[in-house]
């Protein structure tokens, strides 16, 4: 199995494990492995103007360039690096780019989660 297929299998597994939370949470949520392997709930996709969670997950390219306002990119990257390197959670403010180019200001909680020996970043968003 190649690395891309392995990452797809991991994403499917963690999505299945978190399905109840993704489907019923009152918050926007996304789970991130890398720029090409990510999943969100319908609430987050809608927040950013996407037709569905699948539509959002199919967007390809740099995550920060696609979805994060320029003024918030360093904040998100720093929080992600702390989560992955030191296994710590954090809370911070982020401006997200919606699909039409507008900015949505939110509060984010980011925590590292482990699934099948791989670290993912789990994000809860209020906004």
CA distance 104 to 83: 23
pLDDT of 4 reads: 81
pLDDT at 1 exceeding the cut of 90: no
Contact 15, 39 (CB under 8 A): yes
**What is the domain count for the chain?**
1
What domain range includes position 91? 3-126
Mean pLDDT, rounded, of the chain: 96
pLDDT band at 39 (very low <50, low <70, confident <90, very high): very high
Report pLDDT digits (tens) over 57-105: 999 999 999 999 999 999 999 999 999 999 999 999 999 999 998 999 9
CA distance 110 to 122: 6
CATH code, domain with 63: 3.30.450.20
Task: Provide the 8-state DSSP code for 13.
Answer: H
Q: Kindly report the CA angle at 122 between 63 and 103, in degrees rounded to 5?
A: 45
pLDDT band at 3 (very low <50, low <70, confident <90, very high): confident
């Amino acid at each position: 199995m190649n690395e891309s297929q392995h990452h797809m299998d991991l994403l499917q597994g963690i999505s299945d494990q978190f399905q109840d939370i993704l489907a019923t949470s009152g918050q926007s949520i996304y789970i991130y492995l890398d720029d090409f392997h990510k999943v969100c709930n319908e609430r987050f996709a809608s927040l950013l103007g996407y037709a569905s969670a699948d539509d959002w997950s199919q967007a390809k390219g740099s995550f920060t360039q696609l979805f994060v306002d320029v003024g918030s990119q360093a904040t998100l990257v720093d929080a992600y690096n702390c989560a992955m390197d030191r296994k710590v959670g954090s809370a911070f403010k982020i401006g997200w780019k919606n699909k039409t180019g507008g900015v949505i200001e939110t509060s984010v909680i980011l925590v590292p989660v482990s699934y099948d020996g791989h670290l993912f970043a789990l994000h809860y968003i209020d906004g």
